[in-house]
């Protein structure tokens, strides 16, 4: 589906995601639009794919929102990878604490805390 054909969901159309990048200055959240077709699956804690600087990148959806602080145009979530949330609030708090305590990046800690996806 092209970006022009997508329609944002009416309630909480913004997904705040954490890209799985190992670059320390990009250890922050970014906002993306959620299409109406993705809304049921795009819940906090699921793995998603996003287009980040022209390439597809894995990310975790941290929260859904009604507004954004970003002044520019938002991109769309490419797809929802995991049907079930794999990043629980407890794991997220632990990841934040470990990254802060040991001066690591949250994506690096997340790679160790949440197992990689395995297809059956």
70-86 pLDDT per residue, tens? 999 999 999 999 989 99
Q: What is the pLDDT of residue 6?
A: 87
How confident is the model over 56-77, as a mean pLDDT? 96
Query: Mean of the pLDDT values across residues 58-68?
Result: 97
pLDDT at 55 over 90: yes
Closest CA to 18 of 7, 32, 35, 5: 32
Domain ranges of the chain: 3-113
pLDDT bracket for residue 4 (50, 70, 90): low
Residue 41 to residue 69: CA distance in whole angstroms: 24
Q: Does residue 43 contact residue 15 with C-beta atoms inside 8 Å? A: no
Structure tokens at 75: 């991109």
**59-83-109 Cα angle (round to 5):** 35
What CATH number matches the domain at 3-113, 3.30.950.10, 3.30.310.40, 3.30.200.20, 3.40.1440.60? 3.40.1440.60
């Amino acid at each position: 589906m092209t970006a022009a054909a997508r329609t944002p969901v009416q309630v909480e159309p913004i997904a705040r995601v954490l890209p799985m990048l190992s670059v320390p200055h990009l250890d922050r959240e970014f906002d993306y639009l959620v299409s109406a077709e993705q809304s049921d699956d795009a819940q906090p804690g699921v793995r998603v794919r996003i287009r980040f600087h022209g390439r597809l990148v894995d990310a975790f959806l941290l929260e859904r929102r009604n507004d954004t602080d970003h002044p520019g145009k938002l991109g769309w979530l490419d797809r929802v990878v995991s049907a079930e949330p794999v990043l629980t609030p407890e794991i997220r708090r632990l990841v934040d604490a470990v990254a802060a305590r040991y001066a690591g990046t949250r994506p690096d800690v997340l790679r160790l805390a949440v197992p990689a996806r395995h297809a059956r």
